[in-house]
Amino acid sequence: MNEKLGIVKKVGNAVATILLGNTRETIIRTDEKVQTISRTLDQMGPDLKEIREKFSGLETKVNTLWADKYATAHSPRRLNERGKEILIKSGIKELVETNRSRLLEMVRAKNPTNAYDAEQAIMTVMADFPKQFPDTVVHLKDGAFRSGVTIDTLLYVGGLHLRDEIFPDLGFTLEQIDTARKP
């Protein structure tokens, strides 16, 4: 019996030595890999910053091209024929007008101090429209499908319509948008 117990202890010690040895090797290799990854990321830092800057510029250009499809390219933007068609066909006009009072209050809560800031606040409020009015999401989806556009497009078109509707209530005119942008 003692002999068997001795063998079990020796086997147990051997297994523990193997496991601990392998674990130590694994830890060392993992640490080396982490250090290599860290050095690589440090080297990539400046490149990533440059990529982010270029992407930001590209994003602005793409957004402008997208907006040109539904509104005139001059400032202040106004809905073109396609934008007007979407406004009516999608039902976004009715959704905006039905919720006009609440949307106006949401814009006022952002405290815009000039026409440009008011326009930006309106677009932000409209971007959040599905979250603020969750019961309208089905209508937005149906309207987007009927019009052959995305929900984001509906919200953009609705935002321009809302801007035109509530600007006087905010104390601004569309012509002031350009003067607010100038330094």
Domain that holds residue 39: 1-68
pTM of the predicted protein model: 0.63
pLDDT over 60 (residue 18): no
Domain boundary among 27, 42, 68: 68
Q: What percent of the chain has pLDDT over 70?
A: 58
Q: Are residues 64 and 86 in the same domain?
A: no
Write the DSSP string, the chain. Answer: -HHHHHHHHHHHHHHHHHHHHHHHHHHHHHHHHHHHHHHHHHHHHHHHHHHHHHHHHHHHHHHHHHHHTTB-SSSSP-B-HHHHHHHHHHSHHHHHHHTHHHHHHHHHTT---SHHHHHHHHHHHHHTHHHH-GGGHHHHHHHHHHHTS-HHHHHHHHHHHHHHHHHHHHT--THHHHHHH--
Give the count of domains, the chain.
2
Q: Are residues 84 and 163 in the same domain?
A: yes
Q: Decide if 22 is inside a domain.
A: yes
Q: Are residues 88 and 64 in the same domain?
A: no
Task: Flag the least confident range among 11-15, 35-39, 77-81, 134-138.
Answer: 11-15
Q: Are residues 58 and 97 in the same domain?
A: no
- Across 130-140, average pLDDT: 96
* Interval 60-118: pLDDT, tens: 545 555 555 666 666 678 888 999 999 999 999 999 999 999 999 999 999 999 988 99
